[in-house]
Structure 1
Amino acid sequence: MKILIAEDDLSFRRFMEKKLTAWGFEAVIAEDGNEALQILQSDDSPRLALLDWIMPGLEGVEVCRIVREKKEEAYKYIIMLTSQRRDSDIITGMEAGADDYIMKPFKHNELRLRLRAGRRIIELQNELLAARDMFRTKASHDALTGLWNHGEIVEILSHELARAKREKNSVGVIMADIDFFKKINDTHGHLAGDMVLRLTAGKMLSMMRAYDFIGCYGGEEFLVILPECSLEYASAFAERLRLSVSSDSIDTPEGMISITLSFGVAASSNDRLKDAYSLINAADKALYRAKENGRNCVEVAPADGAMA
Structure 2
Amino acid sequence: MKVLVADDDPGSLLVARAAVERAGHECLAAADGDEAWKLFLAHRPDAVVTDRMMPGMDGLALCRAIRASETDLYTYIVLLTSQDSREDMLAGLEAGADDYVTKPLDPFVLRARLLVAVRVTTLHADLAHYRKVLSRQARTDPLTGLYNRLKLSEDLEQLHARSARYGEEYSVAMCDVDNFKSYNDIYGHQAGDLALRNVAAALLGQVRKSDGVYRFGGEEFLLVLPRQGIAEARVLLERALEAVRKLKIEHHGDPSGELRLSAGISMFGAGHAVDADMLLGEADTALYSAKAAGRNRVEAAW
- Which category of TM-score, normalised to the shorter sequence, fits these structures? 0.7 to 0.9
Give a deviation string over 1:105-152, Cα, whole Å, max 9, x none.
444443232222223222333344444444444444423234333355
The residue number in structure 1 matching 2:279 is 279
Give 5+ residue unaligned stretches, structure 2.
250-257
Asked if 1 retains the 8 angstrom alpha-carbon contact of 2:4 and 2:45, the reply is yes
When residues 111 and 176 of structure 1 are mapped into structure 2, their CA distance, relative to the original with a 3 A threshold, is same
Summarize the Cα distance change of 1:277–1:116 in structure 2 as closer, same or farther, 3 Å threshold.
same
* 1:244-273 C-alpha deviation (Å, 9 max, x unpaired): 4444568xxxxxxx7543222221347667
Contact in 2 for aligned 1:272/1:278 (Cα 8 Å)? no
Letter in 1 for 2:148: N
- Aligned mates of 2:244, 2:35 — CA distance in 1: 54
Deviation at 1:19, TM superposition (A): 4.6
Structure 1 residues 206 and 112: alpha-carbon distance in aligned structure 2, compared to 1, 3 A threshold: farther
Q: Is the 8 A contact 1:49 1:78 kept in 2?
A: yes
Tell me the C-alpha RMSD between the 2 structures.
3.4
Rounded to whole Å, the distance in 2 between the matches of 1:27 and 1:207 is 49
Partner of 1:84: 83
> Which position in structure 2 is the counterpart of 1:197?
196
For the residue of structure 2 that corresponds to 1:142, the secondary structure is: coil
* Counterpart for residue 306 of structure 1: none
Structure 1 contact 142–148 (Cα < 8 Å) conserved: yes
Alignment of 1:212-231 (within 5 A): 212-231=211-230
Larger mean CA deviation between 278-287 and 179-188 belongs to 179-188
- Report the Cα offset of residue 45 of structure 1: 0.9
Contact 2:76 2:121 in 1 (8 A): yes
Q: Which residue of 2 aligns with 1:39?
A: 39
Query: More deviation in 71-80 or 151-160?
Result: 151-160
**Percentage of matched positions with identical amino acids:** 38
| Higher deviation after alignment, 236-245 or 215-224 | 236-245
**Cα pair distance change 1:35/1:202, threshold 3 Å:** farther
Task: List alignment gaps of at least 5 residues for structure 1.
Answer: 251-257, 304-308
Provide the rounded CA distance (Å) in 1 between the counterparts of 2:12 and 2:199: 60
Contact 2:7 2:32 in 1 (8 A): yes
Q: Using a 3 Å threshold, how does the CA distance of structure 1 residues 247 and 49 change in structure 2: closer, same or farther?
A: farther
Q: Which residue of 1 aligns with 2:268?
A: 268
- SS of the residue corresponding to residue 28 of structure 1 reads strand
- Counterpart contact for 2:16–2:105, Cα < 8 Å: no
> Tell me, what secondary structure is at the counterpart of 1:41?
helix
Within 5 Å, give how 1:9-20 maps onto structure 2: 13=13, 16-17=16-17, 19-20=19-20
Which SS does the other structure have where 1:144 is aligned?
coil
CA-CA distance at 1:294 after TM superposition: 4.7
* In structure 1, distance between residues paired with 2:49 and 2:245: 59
Mapped partners of 1:168, 1:234: distance in 2: 18
Rounded to whole Å, the distance in 2 between the matches of 1:223 and 1:107 is 63
Partner of 1:288: 288
Checking the alignment, whether the CA contact within 8 Å between 2:74 and 2:125 is kept in structure 1 is no
CA pair 265-69 structure 1, distance change in 2 beyond 3 A: closer
TM-score by length of 2: 0.78
**One-letter code aligned to 1:50:** V
In the alignment, what sits opposite 2:74?
75
Q: In the TM superposition, what is the alpha-carbon distance from 1:98 to its structure 2 partner?
A: 1.6
**What do residues 193-244 of structure 1 show as CA deviations (whole Å, max 9, x unaligned)?**
3233234334534554444333222211111122332111111221232334
Q: Assess if the C-alpha contact under 8 Å between 2:264 and 2:288 holds in 1.
A: yes
Match of 1:94? 93
Change (3 A) 1:276 1:86: closer
Separation (CA, whole Å) in 2 of partners of 1:183 and 1:22 = 70
Whether the aligned pair in 1 keeps the contact of 2:2 and 2:27 (CA below 8 Å) is yes
Instruction: Please state how far the C-alpha of 1:49 moved relative to its aligned partner.
Output: 0.9
Which stretch has the larger CA shift, 222-231 or 86-95?
Answer: 86-95
Aligned positions of 1:10-159 closer than 5 A: 13=13, 16-17=16-17, 19-42=19-42, 45-70=44-69, 72=71, 74-150=73-149, 152-154=151-153, 156-157=155-156
Give 1:165 shift: 3.5
